[in-house]
Structures are given as C-alpha cells and as structure tokens.
Amino acid sequence: MARVPLRSLLSLRSPLSRTLPLCTGLLVAAACVHATSPSSSSSAAAAAQAPRPVVYYDARSISFSELTAARGTTVYELLRTLRPEFLRPRYPSLDSPGGHLPAVYVDNAYEGEVEMLHSVPSTAITRIRFLTPVEAGQRFGTTHDHRGGVILVQTGRRM
C-alpha cells in the first residue's frame, strides 16, 4: 500500500467541503445575534408576555367609565349586565323568607322598588352604588324599608 502525503489529500477535496464549516459557523453566529437583538416582532412578543396591570373595581359601586362602556338603555339592564347581585333579594326574615329587594334612591330621593329602574334611562347616570341596610339606615333614616339594602343612582344634575 502506497502512502499518500496528507497535503495531496487536502487538495483533492472540493472547494465546497472547505467552505462548508466556515458558512455553518457564520450562520450559527448570525442566528444567535438575531435571537438576542431586540426587533419589532420580539418586542411585540415581549409586550404580550409582560404582566398586565391589575384593574380593581368596587364590587358595590359602578363608576361612570364602567357605565359608558356597558350596553343598556335602562338602569335595570345595566345592573343586570354589570352587577346582577344588586337586583337579588337578600337578608331573609320571618315576614319575607325569600329575602328583601333593595329600595331605589335616585339623587338621594326615594323612588321605590327595583322594578322602577326599568323607567330610568341609562344615559343620565353618572354612578350607581349599593348600600347595605345599615349604611342605608344611617344615611336615609328609617322612613322607608331598607332591609334589602339600597341601590343609590346618581345622575348628572345637581342635588
């Protein structure tokens, strides 16, 4: 078996076999640089993965911004959508085992029971709050039945 010098074997390889390792190394380096550099697509992905701010809302109050974002032509429809628990009977007693419905006050004036909210247009409302029976008694006295709490509707007009 004849010995062939190593230098002659290297010269027999094709030009592609000599440049392939170099090209592979350059491609890997370019991929690493691209993966670590900020771009519009990667920054959009990072923004999508960023933690969103926590939005707190008061469970017993509906703000003007919530009211304007909601759909409904009457206050009753808004409450049914945003806070249905406002409309439910609560605090059962011996004379009302099913519970008591909340009283309704519009601009601090007694208007009646929950059913009257069907006649109040939602466009005039700036805020809605629910008061517990204790809060309602402290604020409005004992003139009306507040055992189911109070739905306090505030409009834009001055009181």
Question: Per-domain residue ranges for the chain?
Answer: 14-46, 61-155
Are the C-beta atoms of 149 and 97 separated by less than 8 Å?
no
Q: So what's the pLDDT on residue 92?
A: 86
The rounded radius of gyration (Å) of the Cα atoms in the chain is 36
Q: Which residues partner with 129 through β-bridges?
A: 61, 152
For residue 20, report the phi and psi dihedrals to the nearest 5 degrees. -60, -50
pTM of the model: 0.63
**CB neighbourhood size of 117 (10 A):** 25
Q: Would you identify the CATH topology of the domain 61-155? A: Ferric Hydroxamate Uptake Protein; Chain A, domain 1 (2.170.130)
Digit-by-digit pLDDT tens for the chain (159 residues) are 566 555 555 555 555 555 656 556 666 666 665 555 555 455 555 555 767 665 566 889 999 988 888 888 999 999 999 999 999 998 888 888 889 999 999 999 999 999 999 999 998 899 999 999 999 999 999 888 899 999 999 998 654
Pick the closest to residue 67 from 11, 142, 121, 147 (CA basis). Answer: 121
The residue written with tokens 């030009």 in the block is 15
The residue written with tokens 């592979």 in the block is 24
**CB neighbourhood size of 157 (10 A):** 9
